[in-house]
Amino acid sequence: MSATSVLVVDDEPLARRRLVRMLARLDWVGVIREATDANEAISATATFTPDILLLDIQMPGGSGFDVLERLGSHPPVVVFITAFDHHALQAFEANAVDYVTKPVEPARFARALERARLAVESRAQDDRLAEMQETVAALKRALNDQPRRRSDFWIKARGDYLRLTLDTILWFQAERDYVRIHVQGANYLYQDSLTALEQTLDQEAFLRIHRGAIVRRGAVDRLRPAAFGALVAVLTDGTEVRVGRTYGPAVRARLMQG
């Protein structure tokens, strides 16, 4: 088989970079192109005709479902990159099209891409189209049933998987391509961007106070004035987190609401 072409569709630049980086490690992958939203993806599939489509579901200006419904009669093999939790995905395990949950783990990604490669080699186009239509319908049902906000985080720590409930988390700190989750007396590195993580949090319980920081409202003990009119959020464990200048008015208003 000749080199396989892949189109990566995700509105998050960090997410796209990670996917492209992992694709580059697969020696059977050839041309890799990117699209940032549904319209770009639809246009790219018409001109580029990729073998495999890595597709986010929730994007500004149109969902991944909108893309799939306009792929026509010769669709590529689709691997969904989703925010669905593992329980929601169990219903789809028997399907040939795969699903990778965010944050994307390299080993899980490699398995999904291997399944996609085999599908490109062996699956008839008509079967692929019928399966895709069935899958879209199933995912739409799951999306309607899926809780909008997460209740915990599972962190790999020293070989074990540790569950962090939201009420134990003090704040989230952006750290390059990761997020550091701070709890009382400890912190853990989590593979995701702060912006993507923010979309899964309860907006009433958590508050973005800086480009690089999200705090749990209940963990803020007080706001302390700093130099040049700046603010610092003092948390219940004594940690001080700077409030970004552009965030200050909104942070004060939100916290004063109680």
| Domain membership of residue 113 as a residue range | 4-144
Residues 158, 121 share a domain: no
Residues 171, 103 share a domain: no
Residues 132, 12 share a domain: yes
**Residues in CB range of 40: below 8 A, 6 or more apart:** 9
Residues facing residue 227 across a β-bridge: none
Residues 212, 80: Cα–Cα separation, whole Å: 28
3-state secondary structure of 222: strand
Residues 134, 24 share a domain: yes
Residues 35, 116 share a domain: yes
Residues 157, 228 share a domain: yes
Residues 126, 91 share a domain: yes
Residues 58, 37: Cα–Cα separation, whole Å: 9
Residues 215, 212: Cα–Cα separation, whole Å: 10
Number of domains within the chain: 2
Residues 167, 110 share a domain: no
Q: Which of 83, 113, 144 marks a domain boundary?
A: 144
Q: Is the peptide bond before 103 cis (omega within 30 degrees of 0)?
A: yes
Residues 208, 106 share a domain: no
Q: Which of 144, 160, 192 marks a domain boundary?
A: 144
What is the structure's pLDDT at 129? 57
Neighbouring C-beta atoms of residue 46, cutoff 10 Å: 11
Q: Which of 112, 144, 176 marks a domain boundary?
A: 144
Indicate the residue type of 93: E
What is the structure's pLDDT at 93? 44
Residues 170, 216 share a domain: yes
Residues 44, 94 share a domain: yes
Averages of pLDDT over runs of 10 residues in the chain (258 residues) are 87 91 94 93 88 86 78 80 58 55 87 89 59 63 58 83 92 92 94 86 91 95 87 95 90 81
What is the structure's pLDDT at 75? 79
Residues 123, 14 share a domain: yes
What tokens does 102 get?
Answer: 């965010």
CATH number of the structural domain spanning residue 57: 3.40.50.2300
